[in-house]
């Protein structure tokens, strides 16, 4: 049976389908899912998956991502997209002015739902907040440095090798393969 990749973002769907490759049958399903508020991405992904399964009624994947700055008590957390669209990277940098602790991390949870229930897989990448560098990527990538480079300074292939989302997707893929 085909696995539905549930997201309203066709670009993300295409990336996930490409990530799994031809050994898996995936298709993109775009439905509106309530964006549950919770401070844990795993719980948000689980609730999104349960809601989506009630509509789609076949195996599916859905994800949720948070971006957390330690000195800001985890802000913007699960509201990364909203915060980016309002105060943006400029706002994050302003909030951190004069604050020595620059630690931050991205975390993604991918939930796989079937009639048997929901499995949640997580990926995480740690780094520090810096002045913007690089032209690649999107969102917080220019101000997030890991291993000496920002996520905007590395190739897409390299980003896909180390990113929070690809870590979680790798675990999903291995888990699915182990069940074949």
User: Which residue(s) pair with 50 in the sheet?
Assistant: none
Catalytic residue among 39, 64, 141, 180: 64
| Least gap, CB of 130 to its own copies (angstroms) | 19
Segment interacting with its own copies (CB under 8 A) among 37-45, 139-147, 152-160, 169-177:
37-45
Q: Are 97 and 74 in contact (CB under 8 A)?
A: no
Q: 87 vs 130, which CB is nearer to its own copies?
A: 87
Is residue 175 close enough to count as binding its own copies by CB under 8 A? no
> Least distance in Å: CB of 41 to its own copies?
13
Binding mask 95-124 for its own copies (x = CB under 8 A): x-x---------------------------
Q: Are 66 and 72 in contact (CB under 8 A)?
A: no
Distance of CA 85 to the CA centre of its chain: 17
Q: How far is the CB of 3 from its own copies (least distance, A)?
A: 25
Binder among 19, 36, 40, 153 for its own copies (CB under 8 A): 36
64 annotated active-site: yes
Interhelix angle 164-179/10-20, rounded to 10 degrees, is: 50
83 makes contact with its own copies (CB under 8 A)? yes
| Cα torsion angle, 87, 96, 40, 64, sign | positive
The DSSP string of 112-146 is EEETTEEEEEEEEEEEEE-S---SSS-TTGGGEEE
């Amino acid at each position: 049976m085909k696995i539905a990749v549930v997201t309203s973002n066709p670009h993300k769907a295409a990336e996930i389908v490409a990530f799994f490759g031809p050994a898996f049958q995936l298709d993109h399903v775009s439905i509106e899912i309530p964006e549950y508020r919770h401070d844990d991405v795993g719980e948000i992904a689980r609730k999104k998956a349960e809601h989506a399964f009630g509509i789609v009624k076949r195996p599916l994947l859905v994800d949720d991502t948070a971006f957390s700055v330690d000195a800001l008590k985890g802000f913007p957390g699960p509201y990364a997209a909203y915060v980016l669209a309002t105060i943006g990277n400029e706002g994050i940098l302003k909030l951190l002015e004069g604050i020595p602790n620059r630690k931050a991390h991205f975390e993604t949870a991918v939930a796989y739902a079937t009639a048997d229930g929901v499995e949640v897989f997580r990926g995480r990448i740690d780094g520090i907040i810096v002045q913007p560098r690089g032209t690649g990527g999107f969102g917080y990538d220019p101000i997030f440095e890991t291993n000496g480079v920002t996520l905007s300074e590395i190739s897409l292939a390299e980003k896909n090798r180390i990113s929070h989302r690809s870590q979680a997707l790798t675990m999903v893929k291995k888990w699915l393969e182990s069940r074949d």
